[in-house]
Amino acid sequence: MLTTRYLRVGSTPYIQRGDAMSDAHGDDGITLSRVVEVMARRLNHLVGARCLRSNGVAVGRNWTETLAKVSKVNQDTLLAKDVTQQALELLRVHSLIGNKRVTWYDLKGLNADMVTSFSNWLDKALDSPPLDESWVTQYPFPLTPIDDTSLRNFDRSKPKLVKVWQEGGRTYFQFFSVRTYNERVELAPTSFSKDAYENIRQYSKIIGIKQKFAPCFDTVVVDRSEQRIELRVDVPSAHVPNEIQQIANQHVLGSFNALSYQGCQTSIVGLSAFDFFPMLLPLYRDNTAGKVSTLGFAAYAEDSASNNTGRPIRKKGHDLREDKFHKSGAAAVEDLRPYTIGVEWPALGRKDEVIELEIPGSIHCLYKSRALHVANLSGCVTFAEYEFLTHKIWHYSEIAAKLAAEALSQAQKAIESAKAGA
């Protein structure tokens, strides 16, 4: 059976049978094959295959082979139905904490009356969620279209609201949308016709551009106790350009804002976003904090500076803090300031796998804005792993705040001392 670590945060069940998230799918025609087809569109094969294999379902080396094996399974057996439920749970969890582009917004920017009105609207949305019923009937959450035609024709500017529920002090709004991106695929020259091969045989490598369509779940999480809105935007592939992810961010935030304004005349557009930039330096300096696998920085000496042409260094599985070249270079300069950092930690209970927190930025952050409002949380398959990464954000942000307060205090003392000596 699939272990409960897919369903828990610590010792508290996050998804319970029969609650707002766990709709019964017993005899509604949802088969194991259909669920696995969605898994193939949304999940890394390693993660999906682990779920199936642990429940006694034969899997292949990739999704193509696994889909072929699952198609031969008798869908009406108790085993198939039980595995279907387990796979649905995995899809639900992944829709919430799988590879996400995260932004936090501060609700403290609303006045007291607006907060009350907004909170009342959240309660009403829970009782009567403004879902797209025709869509949800056809694709009950967390199922999605799997054919390219349906995904291609989806209106990307209008995400579908497919689920609203409450968990603890948090209200969740789950939206479905589609990302379109191009993927580079190396083609074998021998796969072409004889005539075509004669024209391309001179090339050592042939690259084809393939248009891909990815079904995505983007989540708006309203934490009333912390007075914060968390936006989690799906990152279906590393090949998706940042510009497309930014557009997806705008679409889902705009859709949620439209619902909020229609329901309580409260706009969340313009709320201040949490700044991740201050945590970069203390995270980089803590040698006990995972492995720095991505690093963009500027180094400063007395009369010069260098920023490696503004290109981050990426070395997965290695700690750049301990890289000999990097260490010797860092020791030779007066200061080193990161503008991008990615840190890997071992996955919880999964051997040879990692989870990663990345704060992406550009060299301009050091000279202009000094603000970063996006964090990428990737590799998580359990809520405990996602909470682990968010805890790291808070921890190093608090350290940064203390360092800033100490620096301000020292500066004030220096000014007072200078005045006294004048």
Whole-number Å distance between alpha carbons of 150 and 177: 12
Question: If you average pLDDT over residues 273-299, what whole number do you get?
Answer: 93
Question: If you average pLDDT over residues 405-419, what whole number do you get?
Answer: 78
| Residues 93 and 104 reside in one and the same domain | no
Whole-number Å distance between alpha carbons of 297 and 200: 42
Q: Where does the pLDDT of residue 201 fall: very low under 50, low under 70, confident under 90, or very high at 90 and above?
A: confident
| Residues 24 and 153 reside in one and the same domain | no
| Residues 14 and 59 reside in one and the same domain | yes
Domain-embedded: residue 420: no
Q: Provide the pLDDT for residue 8.
A: 30
| Residues 164 and 290 reside in one and the same domain | no
Instruction: Point out the domain boundary residue: 213, 237, 264.
Output: 264
Domain-embedded: residue 272: no
| Residues 114 and 258 reside in one and the same domain | yes
| Residues 84 and 186 reside in one and the same domain | no
Residue with tokens 């024209």: 199
- Rounded mean pLDDT of the chain? 86
Q: Which domain holds residue 318?
A: 277-415
| Residues 243 and 150 reside in one and the same domain | yes
**CB distance 381 to 349 below 8 Å:** no
Domain-embedded: residue 397: yes
Q: Calculate ∠ Cα 351-352-355, nearest 5°.
A: 95
| Residues 253 and 284 reside in one and the same domain | no
SS3 288: coil
Instruction: Tokens for 175, please give them.
Output: 């939206």
What sign does the CA torsion over 407, 408, 409, 411 have? positive
Whole-number Å distance between alpha carbons of 421 and 27: 84
Domain-embedded: residue 270: no
Instruction: Point out the domain boundary residue: 97, 116, 142.
Output: 97
Query: Is it true that the peptide bond before 142 is cis, omega within 30 degrees of 0?
Result: yes
Instruction: Point out the domain boundary residue: 97, 118, 136.
Output: 97
pLDDT of 330 over the 70 cut:
yes
Domains identified in the chain, total number: 3
Tens of pLDDT, residue by residue over 238-256, are 778 888 999 999 999 999 9
pLDDT of 28 over the 70 cut:
no
| Residues 246 and 154 reside in one and the same domain | yes
Domain-embedded: residue 306: yes
Whole-number Å distance between alpha carbons of 19 and 40: 26
Q: What residue type is assigned to position 285 of the chain?
A: R
| Residues 108 and 164 reside in one and the same domain | yes
Domain-embedded: residue 421: no
pLDDT of 1 over the 90 cut:
no
- Looking at the chain, the whole-number percentage of residues with pLDDT higher than 90 is 59
Q: Provide the pLDDT for residue 308.
A: 64
Q: Which uninterrupted H or E stretch holds 394?
A: helix 383-421
